[in-house]
Amino acid sequence: MTHADPASVRPRRFAPQGPLKGRIRVPGDKSISHRSIMLGALAVGETRVTGLLEGEDVLATAAAMRAMGATVERTGEGAWTIHGVGVGALLQPKGPLDMGNSGTSTRLLMGLVASHPINVSFTGDDSLSKRPMNRVITPLSQMGASFDASEGGRLPLIVRGASPAVPITYTLPVASAQVKSAILLAGLNTPGKTTVIEPVPTRDHSERMLQGFGAELTVETREDGARVITVTGEAELKPQVIDVPGDPSSAAFFLVAALVTPGSDVMIENVGLNPTRAGLVEVLCQMGADITKCDERVVGGEPVADLHVRHSPLKGIVVDPAIAPSMIDEFPALFVAAALAEGTTTTSGLDELRVKESDRLSAMATALVAAGADVEERADGLVIKGTGGVPLAGTRPGFEVTTHLDHRIAMAMAIAGLASGDGVMIDDTRPIATSFPVFEAMLDGLVA
């Protein structure tokens, strides 16, 4: 992974360069890209994928599935074929699986391995090795898998799969699509019915894609709003043809960039607008954003549209914490929008942001304050008093934003730099490659 060598650090200053104009197409959705490779590797036959995100995180998933017996090949830009081994037929890898910076790869693959008769060692970079895995270890242990983890349930760790695994009914203690998905993936090779109850709905790409691949999966919504998802093992998955829509988490940075940069007019094509992922667009529109959905359509079971966004004066709001799961990765971008809005924006219910690639609440508060924003950090959110559209006052002399190897901190503060007085210096842009390798080139193209 590119982060390993400190000698290759790539700092960059992002400064105002005028309005953003043009049409762009952001890379494929990261969540769907991960799952298309994993499920393709468990189907018997050839799965073809176009629009795959070719960032480091997804490439880590591809390498892991190769190591466990699947044939995963790139046939063109964003075009891949996967020849799967079948559910229950994953092979013992010859060495540790290096997950780089990818928490999604790690947690979902822990689920896959948990119900196969193999032992797998997972490693990762410094950032990933600080992230807790106990939330996945707990339910998978109930299914019969065993774990040798580092202190605090962290990487490096070893998963010893159970054969046969035991079906469980598990209520998620915290909203997490990754934990839900890990349990459902383990359930694919578990005799009987494995059920996950999520009190707060989270992104549902796993459910949609499992059904698309032919798994017997049901979703029911209770009167209290909780979702009950049940998968029946031992599943036989059928290969699919998948066109991955654009990643709304990647589109988020360009939405905000255009909104806060005067004179901007940008069309972002082919953005996935799954209801469990579209919270940011809703919140920005509540703040007064000029965003138009064009050519709304459904591709591969996922709602998609082109988003036309123009510079807009934004107003601060109180963000409903109930919407947080549908935009959890987009809050760094929203914090930048709030810093340029008129009035105060208050966010809460964001405890999950403290255990992402970095503590995103603390990292964004520190970075925005240094850039000239008025930010109060609370236990579960930020309170941001916006400038009313006035450029951020500028960083302290010699200050660099510390990204903590977090791609979203780097991209969010790059956007803040466009709406600042003197620009924002990012300590290292390399982490951006984990999810959005062409981010800088695309941003520079819109400015040009």
Residues 6+ apart with CB under 8 A from 25: 246, 268, 269, 270
**Residue 164: cis peptide before it, omega within 30 degrees of 0:** yes
312 is in an annotated binding site: no
356 is in an annotated binding site: yes
Indicate the length of the chain as a whole number: 448
Q: At what angle do helices 30-42 and 205-212 cross, to 10 degrees?
A: 30
**Measured CA distances, 347 to 291, 334, 362, 374 (Å):** 22, 10, 13, 14
329 is in an annotated binding site: yes
* Active site (annotated) includes residue 422: no
Phi-psi region of 152 (alpha: psi -120 to 50; beta: other; left: phi over 0): left
176 is in an annotated binding site: yes
30 is in an annotated binding site: yes
The rounded distance, in Å, linking the Cα atoms of 47 and 36 is 8
Among candidate residues 98, 204, 243, 329, the one labeled active-site is 329
358 is in an annotated binding site: no
**Residue 156: cis peptide before it, omega within 30 degrees of 0:** yes
The rounded distance, in Å, linking the Cα atoms of 262 and 310 is 9
238 is in an annotated binding site: no
354 is in an annotated binding site: no
The rounded distance, in Å, linking the Cα atoms of 409 and 430 is 12
Joined tokens for residue 385: 């008093």
State CA 153 to chain mean position distance.
Answer: 21
Give CA angle at 54 (423, 177), nearest 5°. 90
Q: What are phi and psi of 317, to 5 degrees?
A: -140, 170
- Comparing CA positions, the residue from 212, 214, 175, 213 lying closest to residue 196 is 175
- Comparing CA positions, the residue from 374, 436, 363, 437 lying closest to residue 400 is 363
Q: Which long-range contacts (CB under 8 A, 24 or more apart) does 141-150 make?
A: 142/166, 142/168, 142/170, 143/114, 143/115, 143/167, 143/168, 143/183, 143/186, 143/190, 143/194, 144/114, 144/115, 145/113, 145/114, 145/115, 145/186
State the binding site for 3-phosphoshikimate.
30-31, 35, 176, 178, 329, 356
Catalytic residues: 329
State the binding site.
30-31, 35, 103, 131, 176, 178, 329, 356, 360, 408
